[in-house]
């Protein structure tokens, strides 16, 4: 009989054992940074990113570096088995919310309800267009975007083909979490580290599905048709 693994519990357990010589928040930040770099460099290698990765892991013992890879595997498997805001949930369970920024990640049930209300009759959204776009000005770990994609998938629409997302957060850690989850869930779009209120865009991360779906061309074509 195949053993059923609760990847969320496994993540929390493994994280508690990883690099106990560092502060928990620092370990989580480094895990997110390394995971983002790994996903970006797998798509388009950049020596500058690689050097940043090497600087981060140089502060860790080899077993702990391996643990970070296993942590990312738990995120991937957890998202594959059940849609949801995996990283947002573990972040809150680890009690890492920044009280100065009042960070609180939206519960999945609330996000799904809001996505269903916003989409309404899903089919109507595609009656006269091939795809829709979504702007999320304070994306957190990407919960609302993931819920949006999940509702589309339930209705028989492939999110990587019919949805493009621009998700922004002022906190690099939250944006990194969003980038990881959107990338692993095959959502096409950009994750922007910046301030939506003044259109600040400090860094832009494009998901793998953005490149794989030739979305730069699709978006330009759509704008040309509208003009």
The per-residue pLDDT for range 70-129, each reduced to its tens digit, is 999 999 999 999 999 999 999 989 987 665 455 677 889 999 999 999 999 999 999 999
Of the candidates 41, 70, 93, which is a domain's last residue?
Answer: 93
Residues of the chain with pLDDT under 50: 100, 227
Same domain, yes or no, for 81 and 159? no
Cβ 87 vs Cβ 75: under 8 Å:
yes
Same domain, yes or no, for 78 and 128? no
Q: What is the pLDDT of residue 5?
A: 86
Same domain, yes or no, for 124 and 158? yes
Same domain, yes or no, for 116 and 37? no
Cβ 157 vs Cβ 148: under 8 Å:
no
Same domain, yes or no, for 39 and 143? no
Same domain, yes or no, for 84 and 135? no
Q: What is the pLDDT of residue 1?
A: 56
Q: What is the pLDDT of residue 226?
A: 52
Q: Which residues are 193's β-sheet partners?
A: 169, 203
Give the up-direction half-sphere exposure of residue 98: CA atoms within 13 A in the CB hemisphere: 10
**Rounded Cα gap, residues 90 and 93, in angstroms:** 5
Does 1 reside within a domain?
A: no
Q: Transcribe 180-201 into DSSP letters.
A: HHHHHTT-EEEEEES-TTTT--
- Note down the domain range covering 206: 108-226
Does 193 reside within a domain?
A: yes
From residue 146, alpha-carbon distances to 13, 14, 222 in Å are 25, 25, 24
Same domain, yes or no, for 87 and 115? no
Helix axes 62-81, 172-184, angle to 10 degrees: 60
CATH of the domain at 130: 3.40.50.150
Does 2 reside within a domain?
A: no
Same domain, yes or no, for 134 and 83? no
pTM of the model: 0.93
Same domain, yes or no, for 74 and 125? no
Of the candidates 93, 119, 153, which is a domain's last residue?
Answer: 93
Residues 6+ apart with CB under 8 A from 206: 189, 190
Domains contained in the chain, number: 2
Q: What is the pLDDT of residue 56?
A: 98
Q: What is the pLDDT of residue 200?
A: 94
Same domain, yes or no, for 86 and 127? no
Of the candidates 93, 116, 136, which is a domain's last residue?
Answer: 93
Same domain, yes or no, for 130 and 71? no
Does 44 reside within a domain?
A: yes
């Amino acid at each position: 009989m195949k053993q059923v693994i609760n990847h969320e519990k496994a993540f929390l357990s493994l994280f508690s054992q990883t690099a106990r010589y560092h502060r928990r928040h620092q370990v989580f930040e480094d895990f997110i940074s390394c995971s983002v770099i790994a996903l970006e460099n797998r798509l388009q290698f950049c020596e500058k990113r690689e050097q940043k990765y090497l600087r981060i892991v140089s502060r860790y013992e080899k077993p702990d570096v391996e643990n970070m890879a296993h942590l990312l595997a738990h995120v991937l498997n957890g998202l594959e088995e059940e849609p949801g805001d995996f990283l947002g949930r573990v972040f809150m369970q680890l009690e890492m919310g920044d009280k100065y920024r009042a960070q609180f990640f939206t519960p999945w049930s609330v996000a799904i309800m809001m996505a269903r209300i916003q989409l309404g009759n899903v089919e109507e959204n595609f009656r006269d267009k091939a795809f829709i776009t979504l702007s999320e000005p304070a994306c957190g770990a990407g919960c609302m975007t993931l819920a949006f994609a999940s509702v589309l998938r339930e209705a028989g629409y492939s999110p990587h083909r019919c949805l493009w997302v621009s998700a922004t957060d002022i906190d690099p850690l939250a944006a990194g979490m969003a980038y990881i989850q959107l990338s692993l869930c095959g959502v096409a779009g950009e994750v922007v580290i910046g301030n939506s209120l003044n259109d600040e865009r400090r860094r832009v991360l494009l998901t793998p599905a953005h490149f794989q779906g030739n979305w730069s061309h699709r978006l330009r074509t759509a704008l040309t048709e509208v003009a």
